[in-house]
Amino acid sequence: MSLDISPPLLRVGMRALAWSLFIGNADLPRARRRLNLLSSPIMRVPAGVGIESAELDGVPTEVITSSDPGSRVVLYLHGGVFTLCGPRTHRAITGHLAAAIPATVYVPDYRLAPEHPYPAAVEDSLRAYRSLLARGISAARIAVVGDSAGGCLALELALQARKENLPASAVLGLICPMVDLTDTSSGLHPRNNREPVLSPTLITRSLDAYLPSHLRHTASPLYRDLSGLPPIVLHSAGEDPLAGDAARLSENLHKAGVPLQHYDRTGMWHAFHLLSTVLAPAREALDALTDALTTATNGRRE
C-alpha cells in the first residue's frame, strides 16, 4: 500500500532534503553519503521483489528481481549529475520496473566524480551492457533506462554500441535526461524557481567535477548524430529545469528519424518518478513507462 503525499508538501520536503545534503557547503562525496542515508526510508522496492549484489564485468551491480521475472532485462543507469546517488537511491524506480514488467533489473554502481571523472561512468555503463550480451541475453529483450545523468549515459551507451557494431537494445527509456552538458543547457537558465533540488549551482559543481569544459560539447548527446538509435521513450516534466533540453532532444530525434514516445507531465519537477512510493503522479508515470518498455521488449507481459 502506497502513502500519497500532496505535491506541494513533497516539494517543501525535497527542498529541505537538498538543504540538508549541502549544509556547511559539504563536498560532493559527503553529500552523496548523506543522500544514501536520508533516502533509504522512501526508496524501497515493492513486496515480493528481491535485491542481490553481483558484478557485470567487474562493475558492482545491484540486481532487482520479482518472484517470476521472465526473460526481459532492464539495464538501469541511475542519475545524480554524475556525482551523487547509487543503486540504493533509485530502488523505488527499479523495484517498480522489476515487478511490473516483470524483468530482471541490473543497476550498475558505476564510478562517480570527482573521484572518477569522465569517461569512467561511460566506460562502466558500456562494460555492463557488453557483459549482458556476453551472457547470451538477446539485445531484443534488453531495455536500457536512465534518469537525469543516467539518461545521458543511456544515450552515450547506445551511440557507442552503434559505433562498435554491437546489437542495439530494444528500447531506450529516458527520464528527465541530462543531454546538454554545456553552458547553453536549460538547466543553467531555469524559467522559474519551482524545482526543489536540481539547481544551477548543483549542476555547475557537478559538471566541474565530472569533466573539463572543452569536452562538454562532445560529451553532450544533444549535439551528436542520433540517427540509427533504437526506439526511445522520453519522459519530461514541466517544472524540470532540463525540460527545455528534453524538448530540443525530442526535435532532434524526430529529425534523425528515431521512433519516439514523449510523455510530458506538467506540474512536476526533475525526476519526480523517484517518489513513486509517496506520489501518485510518479506511479502513473512509471506505469506509462512500464507499458512502453514491455511493448518494446516483445509486446506481451510474461
**Nearest Cα residue to 237 out of 300, 188, 284, 278:** 284
Peptide bond into 41 cis (omega under 30): no
**Burial readout 220-246 (b: 16 or more C-beta within 10 A, e: otherwise):** bbbbbebeebbbbbbbbbebbbbbbbb
CB 229 within 8 A of CB 159: yes
Burial of 49 (0-12, 13-18, 19+ CB in 10 A): buried
Catalytic residue among 240, 245, 273, 276: 240
Catalytic residue among 39, 125, 131, 148: 148
Q: Which residues pair with 143 in a beta bridge?
A: 74, 171
How far apart CA 148 and CA 167 sit, in angstroms, is: 24
Active site residue 291: no
Contacts of 102 (CB under 8 A, 6+ apart): 66, 68, 69, 70, 72, 301, 302
**Nearest Cα residue to 78 out of 148, 28, 159:** 148
Active site residue 270: yes
E-strand ranges in 115-254 read 142-147, 171-175, 232-237
Angle value at C-alpha 288, between 287 and 293, nearest 5 degrees: 95
- Cell numbers found for residue 39: 533516502
Catalytic residue among 90, 96, 235, 270: 270
Active site residue 189: no
Q: Which residues are catalytic?
A: 148, 240, 270
